[in-house]
């Protein structure tokens, strides 16, 4: 497995993989801003909307590839305002269901933190559905729970779930 930061052209070249990855995650219960069933058109439109952020360097996209196929991704949204240019938001950590429980999510987060350090981002923030396995992963990586907001995100069945907000100060 290789983890690389994708530029806009590279992201475009693996658009089918990215589209399939997001569909797999959402349609298997991930809470990443979409509701199932997520179709190809909506998934592809999302990734197309990410490309300009890669071009203007307000976001990084890291991809884990196995045998030339994207099996996991994570994004880092870079705050551009002067009072926040030391912080960034971790967004949409996704690992394909067929590749979970192999350390890919942890490897992506470690690579993301390394990139954040290199570009001077020392405070990382993220949110995730409270109680999800992702929360346990983030906490095992040293992220600290800042708080929980009840009834924050809607699930496919219409129920509302709490969202946990976490942060990590990079050393």
pLDDT, mean of residues 13-33: 97
Q: pLDDT, tens digit, for every residue of 126-148?
A: 999 999 999 999 999 999 999 99
CATH superfamily placement of domain 2-122: Gcn5-related N-acetyltransferase (GNAT) (3.40.630.30)
**Number of CB atoms found within 10 A of residue 140's CB:** 10
The model's pLDDT over 40-61, given as tens digits with 9 standing for 90+, comes to 999 999 999 999 999 999 999 9
pTM, full prediction = 0.97
- H helix intervals, the chain: 8-13, 15-27, 40-55, 104-118, 133-140
pLDDT for res 171:
82
Which sequence spans correspond to the domains of the chain? Answer: 2-122
Q: Helix, strand, coil: what percent of the chain each, to 5?
A: 35, 35, 30
């Amino acid at each position: 497995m290789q983890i690389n930061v994708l530029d806009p052209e590279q992201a475009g070249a693996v658009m089918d993989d990215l589209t399939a990855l997001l569909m797999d995650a959402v349609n298997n219960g991930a809470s990443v801003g979409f509701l199932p069933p997520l179709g190809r058109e909506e998934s592809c439109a999302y990734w197309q909307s990410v490309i300009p952020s890669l071009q203007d360097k307000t976001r990084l996209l890291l991809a884990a590839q196995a045998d030339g196929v994207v099996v996991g991704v994570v994004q880092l949204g870079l705050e551009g305002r002067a009072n926040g240019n030391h912080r960034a938001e971790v967004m949409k950590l996704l690992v394909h269901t067929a590749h979970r429980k192999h350390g890919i999510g942890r490897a992506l987060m470690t690579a993301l933190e390394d990139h954040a350090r290199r570009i001077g981002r020392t405070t990382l923030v993220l949110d995730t559905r409270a109680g999800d396995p992702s929360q346990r992963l983030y906490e095992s990586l040293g992220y600290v729970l800042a708080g929980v907001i009840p009834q924050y995100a809607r699930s496919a069945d219409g129920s509302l779930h709490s969202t946990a907000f976490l942060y990590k100060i990079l050393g």
